[in-house]
Structure 1
Amino acid sequence: MDWDEKIGDFENFLRFERNFSDNTVDAYLRDIRKIRDYAVENLQVGPDEISYEHLQEYLFRLSKERFSERSQARWVSSAKAFFKFLAEDELREDNPAVLLEGPKLGLYLPDTLSYDDVEKIVAAADRRTDLGKRNYCIIEVLYGCGLRVSELIDLKISNINFKEKFLKVEGKGDKVRFVPLADYTAELLKDYIQNVRSHYKINKKCEDFLFLNSRGSSMSRVIVFIIIKELTEKAGIKKKISPHTFRHSFATHLLQNGADLRYIQEMLGHSSITTTEIYTHLKTDELRDMILNYHPRNK
């Protein structure tokens, strides 16, 4: 049995039957190709011959390379999904990954920015240039609307309702949600579209995309990461920040200001309230720190 052929079949299964996003599919395929490379180079076995013991040894080797527990858990999840697919397709009689166990994960608390830090990063954008105005607008939309980076770069002008003040956002699994647009953010977007974006020579296929690169085409995730890295360094903030940090910060600041958790769930597009509840732990940590700072027995 050929590894590449079965990985191709697995990719089609994830995309067309499970309707997974491109990012999720790419992550699964990356993990399975690493198993393929190990199996071919060290064991000379195909996907129908690799055993539970082989997979255990592979994961043991990886664990010694100081990868995070979350990465290790994802490898196990990818292996289970791939070999379950082969078994259900009757390409194997057994599933060698069924007994694999990943590391126990603790509660993951996302890193956040204070409101002052967000202001510093926003202020670091040079609004004297069109590029700086675009970057300023990108940060404001990431933070002010709580978007994922994939949602930001896919945002269409036709999905902005300035009259009713909301964005139509296509999230994970093609789920559509409507995100309220603050007056400040709405005015900023209008100014960007009329006075900055209009200066671009726009690729015909990208005429409806809100944010464009210097060639007039849709932006990539990598460009957004680079923009944030440069602005963060310019603002003098030492934290490691990604586009998702602004989404976490947005949710945390909403909760701190008294917003109901259910509304935050809707705004972020979380399918489960459990995902949103992680922000209550952030609030609890903040409360604990404040109490300990002023506690009479903690002086």
Structure 2
Amino acid sequence: MEDSPLLMKYRDYLFSRQLSVGTIDNNISIIERELFAKIVKIEITKFEYRKILSDMRNRLSKNTMYTYVNIIKRFYNFLIDFKLFNGENLFLSAFVKVSASKSMDVLYEKEVLDIYKIFEVGNKTTGYQEFLFDFLYSTGVRLAEIINLNIYDFDFENRVITVIGKGNKERIVIYNELLENTMLSYLKARQAVMKFHRKSHSYFLIDFNTGDRLKSAKVYNEIVRVGNIVHRRIHPHMLRHSFATHLLENGCDLRYIQELLGHSSVSTTQIYTKVQLKQKQNTILKFHPRK
């Protein structure tokens, strides 16, 4: 559905507003996953509209749902404004209550270690799922950023990646030796798949079934499947939050975390100090005998 004429026109419109490639890809991916994958035609019934919202409520946090609904709402506004759709934008009436103070869900370090132990057993997850999980948790990159990575963005000798983040800002991300080992295995598989499908592009992540660039929805779904194995709701951005929180808990300087995440202001990064405190409170409530 990504090749839909309406989505292609909307992509061009977002480009005209000078949004970053990552932001545009994320918007298109959400519309494709949360709307187009569930409807037959763009003019939806009230029943379909309520079903879409109900499905979101069952899967997503309130803040994520709020973001997704607004993205779909803006998409319909675009269609109506440019005379591409003469129906009603039902999403204008959607009301999603969000928390007054933004909270974020992260994994405990023990939860992450338990997931890596499952990977070692190797009979519940695929190698690609393990690689994607390891890459996102080890680097803290955003979903849109990993999708847009090219082979030439890597300095394999120094284990460094040049990442283009929000607002087309460039930053350096460093990865560890353990990730390097799984990455080398992935790159060998990537080369074989590209050769088999006779593809020649530089995108880092590829779909092993086609050799084409991997879609963000595919990455998202693979991480969700890892979470399903451990009965935990996990998504790519949660691994980014966990990456930052665990660095902070282990004594990393906040300003260095800011650089690694690509935040323009340290005040944005400071939210992880609140997450760290909340995690400690939850740990005490969970394990202390006098709760």
TM-score normalised per structure 2? 0.67
Q: In the alignment, which of 10, 21, 25 is matched to residue 22 of structure 1?
A: 25
Larger RCO of the pair (alpha carbons < 8 Å, separation 6+): 2
2:189 aligns with: 196
Cα 1:15–1:127, aligned 2, differ >3 Å: closer, same or farther? farther
Matched residue type, 2:258: Q
SS at match of 2:263: coil
Larger radius of gyration: 1
**1:148-203 superposed Cα distances (whole Å, 9 cap, x missing partner):** 2222232222111122221111223332211012122223322332x433332445
Which structure 2 residue ranges, 5 or more long, are not aligned? 1-6, 36-41, 82-92
Which structure 1 residue ranges, 5 or more long, are not aligned? 1-6, 43-60, 88-99
Task: Determine if contact 2:132/2:223 at 8 Å carries over to the other structure.
Answer: no
1:280 aligns with: 273
Task: Determine if contact 1:228/1:243 at 8 Å carries over to the other structure.
Answer: yes
Question: How many residues are paired up?
Answer: 266
Q: In the alignment, which of 213, 236, 245 is matched to residue 218 of structure 1?
A: 213
Q: Quote the Cα distance in structure 2 between the aligned partners of 1:141 and 1:188.
A: 9
Q: In the alignment, which of 137, 140, 145 is matched to residue 151 of structure 1?
A: 145
CA RMSD after TM alignment: 4.7
Query: Within 5 Å, which residues of 2 pair with 1:42-61?
Result: none
Q: Quote the Cα distance in structure 2 between the aligned partners of 1:206 and 1:176.
A: 25
Q: Quote the Cα distance in structure 2 between the aligned partners of 1:186 and 1:103.
A: 42
Q: In the alignment, which of 217, 228, 235 is matched to residue 233 of structure 1?
A: 228
1:92 aligns with: none
Matched residue type, 2:234: I
Residues 1:242 and 2:240 aligned together: no
Cα 1:208–1:79, aligned 2, differ >3 Å: closer, same or farther? closer
Q: Quote the Cα distance in structure 2 between the aligned partners of 1:79 and 1:232.
A: 29
Task: Determine if contact 2:26/2:216 at 8 Å carries over to the other structure.
Answer: no
Q: Quote the Cα distance in structure 2 between the aligned partners of 1:81 and 1:201.
A: 34
Q: Quote the Cα distance in structure 2 between the aligned partners of 1:247 and 1:174.
A: 19
TM-score normalised per structure 1? 0.65
Matched residue type, 2:129: N
Alpha-carbon offset, residue 105 of structure 1: 4.2
SS at match of 2:106: coil
Cα 1:25–1:217, aligned 2, differ >3 Å: closer, same or farther? closer
Q: Quote the Cα distance in structure 1 between the aligned partners of 2:154 and 2:183.
A: 9
